[in-house]
Structure 1
């Protein structure tokens, strides 16, 4: 049944939260034929990954989804039947007041951050009564195992990935102005937080015995790389050449193009939640830059994921994956030996990832889980 959905998103680190919400909104609309209104507080950042969004227009329809600037909510707002409060953002007071006016209480869902920690299955689906109003929301946790809400995965995603041939890759690279592959080249995408040891990675890649193409979106990481290489390298526009290393700096991509970039690379450095999940569907070896949290809480999340992900790996391969993950997130110092050890297992990790994707595919995807949950309560 077609329902009306309101999704609320505050943009914290520019792209992670809105990346998830935009994918969810599109999947609800395209795969499940729901009517979606997406409330966002930063249309300018949103437009970086959704070029059809005009940051100057407070209310617009893009790909069948109504997009509204959060601060421009009318006092007479009519809430939807299903309300998603994404990543602990708080609904506006005027909207909460409008919820009270509805004869039938909407399904109010608190969509939480993705985590592999064991406690998630115990908290998924728990009610959270409002402290002072007769309203109840429900905690909904994405996850990697049964008993969670699953991961975002469009109906045709795996088929599209399988159909991405060498010819399709060449066409994509040409369309996006990306360099064609060189024989024997290692192609890497790099998307990370400012805390990642980018400079050390660049120095390691200097020493590569094979040609390396590093593809980096515009931003602080690209700026750091450009500054590091400025005096010792040839630079033409968005291309920087240093020995065997070529760095190509690119604009942020629309999400479906970003997926294809991940499919085109041999290794993917990803950050946060959205690109982290997409790297897993891509199947190539990936290194996750987890969002740093107070008191080292992110280490528990990283370890919990790696416990699941490496469970069926040979011990030496699992050690290589864990070691580079710890180094990339600042627990230890990354060096050439650690990178080369990870590189050594490239084919084995790629094969492992095929099994990992099949395991994840056994879950119901997140959008389908949300639709079923909402229908059971309406």
Structure 2
């Protein structure tokens, strides 16, 4: 089938990150995909294997059965190609009117609104519902809501075939993990615990680094580009200015931007992953390592309920003391509670580590998102 995936980059990298993983997974399963995006700049480092060339007045990217087109190329009626078999609007981005008009044909494509990820109850009630269009160029067409999720009555999570096996191979083999870090050009010493940080600007990273500095455990903190690196460097400078430089056992390592496959490998190597948003949070689940989620903050505060809903589902079968302690850290990391007096131990293979793998196994038992999406669009009606 031919799929048209529409993506608008509203903030940060989550929109294009999710859409690119979806696009690559569809192509890997034998489908042809056109990705229409208003800002493809993140693909330069997220997907460096894409080849770019100018076609007419537009710059188009190509990777196998995938082509990446600028959003503007779907806005002029005379330039809009025949829509494919399936049209996906990611996160309710509303495809251009000129493209919608081309969809209004005797046999219109299946039209899917791929929604945001949540563990809240409304997802199971809303998944698969129809949304008839009553006005505009798409009048008479019907789109369906497709909700990712963590329960059987949702669309599942992005998880390409072979991902878990590849992550477990790194996680379970110290030599392979060390070789992977070397390949990623990340310094690491034997006996040194390893954490990655990918966060928003308001993360209380300084409080956590203060706690690490007070623990006499060799630790290396890997800081992703942007907010994490800036916060880490600001903490180190403040400590030095105050006459209390970082402890010799604590090393901060800024990272270069990583492609999506390399970021996945990094998560599998680390003893702890602090991740943000939707895309990296799901990848942290599949890495099988303890993690802390920095949820995207919303002005109306609804992110708090979203975080609580996910913690309740993710930690449902954990020992109560562990769930309490990890939840306290998650809430503090998201500015929803005071900083805890003590943090859960890591690495802890029989505690937090074992609980993480148990929770992951429950999610892995559900069909992945692309498998469910293909089945959904090929059903009649």
| Distance in 2 separating the partners of 1:67 and 1:181 | 41
1:7-62 C-alpha deviation (Å, 9 max, x unpaired): 111112331111111111111110x2111111111111232311234678521212
| Distance in 2 separating the partners of 1:131 and 1:346 | 55
* Cross-structure match for 1:88: 92
Whether 1:4 aligns to 2:2 is yes
After TM superposition, the structure 1 stretch with the greater mean CA deviation from structure 2, 190-199 or 121-130, is 190-199
* Cross-structure match for 1:255: 260
Whether 1:313 aligns to 2:318 is yes
* Cross-structure match for 1:24: 22
Gap change, CA 1:175 and 1:372, over 3 Å in 2: same
After TM superposition, the structure 1 stretch with the greater mean CA deviation from structure 2, 325-334 or 241-250, is 241-250
| Distance in 2 separating the partners of 1:177 and 1:320 | 34
* Among candidates 37, 43, 49, match of residue 40 of structure 1: 37
* Cross-structure match for 1:71: 72
Structure 2 portions without partners, runs of 5+: none
* Among candidates 92, 115, 120, match of residue 118 of structure 2: 115
Whether 1:167 aligns to 2:171 is no
Pairwise CA RMSD: 2.0
Shift of 1:173: 1.0
| Distance in 1 separating the partners of 2:372 and 2:6 | 18
Kept in 2, the 8 Å contact 1:59–1:66? The answer is yes
Kept in 1, the 8 Å contact 2:223–2:254? The answer is yes
Shift of 1:220: 2.5
Whether 1:157 aligns to 2:156 is no
| Distance in 1 separating the partners of 2:345 and 2:112 | 40
Normalising by structure 2, report the TM-score. Answer: 0.91
The size of the alignment, in residue pairs, is 366
Gap change, CA 1:131 and 1:103, over 3 Å in 2: closer
Gap change, CA 1:334 and 1:55, over 3 Å in 2: farther
Whether 1:245 aligns to 2:281 is no
After TM superposition, the structure 1 stretch with the greater mean CA deviation from structure 2, 326-335 or 262-271, is 326-335
Normalising by structure 1, report the TM-score. Answer: 0.92
Structure 1 portions without partners, runs of 5+: 235-239
Kept in 2, the 8 Å contact 1:143–1:151? The answer is yes
